[in-house]
Each structure stands twice: as C-alpha cells, then as structure tokens.
Amino acid sequence: MAILFEWYETPVPNNETDETEKTTIHARITLNGKVGTDEIRRKIQKRSSLTETDVSAVLDALSHVMGEELSEGRQVHLDGIGYFYPTLKSEKGITRETDRKNEKVRLKGIKFRADRALKDEVGNVKLKNFRHSGHSGKLSDVEIDMRLKAYFAEHQLMTRADFQRICGFMRSKAAEHLKRLNAEGKIENIGRKTQPIYVPTAGYYGVSRDRIVTR
C-alpha cells in the first residue's frame, strides 16, 4: 500500500501574478479512504487482552474525558500519540474598545501535534502519484450524470465524500457540482445542512418519476 497523492497548481494572489514565472505545483493526499471506529476497535482488540466491548467502553470514556479537559482549556497529551489542544477564533474588527468583545470569541477547533513515537510508527511511507492532471478530474456534466446513475443503481444514499470519490474531485469542486445538481433538481439533501446526505429525485439516475419519497 502507499499514500496516494495528486499535483495541484499553487494559488497565487492576483496582485502577485507574474506571467514570466512558471506556475508552481504542490502535492496533496487524495482518495486514501478512511478507517472507522469498528475497524480500529477490532485491531486494538487483536493487539490486547481486551474484548471489543471493553475497547468500545474505553474509547467512549476517552472521548468524554478528553472533551471535559479540552473544554477547560487544557492541553491533553496521550503518550505515544500526541497533544490535543483547543484553538479560538474571534470576529473581525474587534478593538480594545469594542463593547462585549468577550462574547465575540468562539471555539475554532481542536488541533493535534503528533508525538515522535507515532511518527516513527508510521515509518518510511511509500508515495504514489494517483494522476498527473494537477487538479480535480475534468468531467463533463453528462459524464457526471453517467457516474451517478451507475452509483445509485447500487446505493440509495450518497455523501459528499462519496461524490468526491465517484468523480475524483477535490472538496471545493465537489461542492460546486453538488450545488449545481441540487439546483437542477436532480438530487436533494435529506440530511442536515452541515452533514448532507443526497438521494436522486424522481426521474433521475434510474429513479422512477412515480416514486414517493418518505423521510
């Protein structure tokens, strides 16, 4: 196995554009899939004397304990794994004279810095160029429709990540086409706005026009 990557053009601000210079590119990891809790639980169980139920309980407790500590602004260190710590964001334009400025601060996210032991565990990785296009796959609208028809012939639901994999798109390109497909009435989101789950609408991708959608 290897880490798959693609080459992408490095964005340059308009005011810094120099037509005499060659466009630079950079590598990004792509389409390497993901491992869920079930698989991690099974692998931990095989490496320990714990049952899968025990592992699930530990992982659940770890999540709660880490959440409690991080919510207090503490840095959490797990030996051999790394450091977790909260980061903040504030609204733009705040000055020392801004009224109620403390209310304009929010949690931005949780960052992670790996321990040397975890980096060493990863070891010397193999790298493989997935494609040489330097950008998301170039597919026509018709080609996208064909891929979606084949996908929905075997699946009922589709996430954004599924769509990225189906078409070989990066996140921004996938979001652009999903917005277009939704506006054209070919798909609809039956999930949350922040966690969309798409299904084909009646008359598209093999779905009968007489279908009645139930939620």
Q: What is the 3-state secondary structure (H, E, C) of the chain?
A: CCEEEEEEECCCCHHHCCCCCCCCEEEEECCCCCCCHHHHHHHHHHCCCCCHHHHHHHHHHHHHHHHHHHHCCCCEEECCCEEEEEEEEECCCCCCCCCCHHHHEEEEEEEEEECHHHHHHHCCCCEEEEECCCCCCCCCHHHHHHHHHHHHCCCCCECHHHHHHHHCCCHHHHHHHHHHHHHCCCEEECCCCCCCCEEECCCCCCCCCCCCCCC
pLDDT tier, 214 (very low <50, low <70, confident <90, very high otherwise): very low
Higher pLDDT, 61 or 174: 61
Cα–Cα distance for residue pair 205/22, rounded to 1 Å = 42
CA–CA–CA angle 55, 61, 64 (5° rounding): 145
Q: What is the pLDDT of residue 137?
A: 60
Cα separation, 66 vs 99, in Å, equals 33
Indicate whether 114 pLDDT > 50: yes
Average pLDDT of the chain is 85
CB 206 within 8 Å of CB 200: yes
Percent of the chain with pLDDT over 90: 47
Residue 134 in this model has a pLDDT that exceeds 60:
no
* For residues 195-212, average pLDDT: 81
The stretch 10-19 carries a mean pLDDT of: 61
135-150: average pLDDT: 82
Average pLDDT over every residue of 4-31: 69
Averaged pLDDT for residues 204-215: 66
pLDDT for residue 65: 97
Averaged pLDDT for residues 203-208: 84
Categorize the per-residue pLDDT at 53 as very low, low, confident or very high, splitting at 50, 70 and 90: very high
Higher pLDDT, 70 or 19: 70
Distance CA 98, CA 100 (A): 7
Which carries the bigger pLDDT value, residue 10 or residue 161?
Answer: 161
pLDDT digits (tens, 9 = 90+) for 72-106: 999 999 999 999 999 999 988 889 899 999 999 99
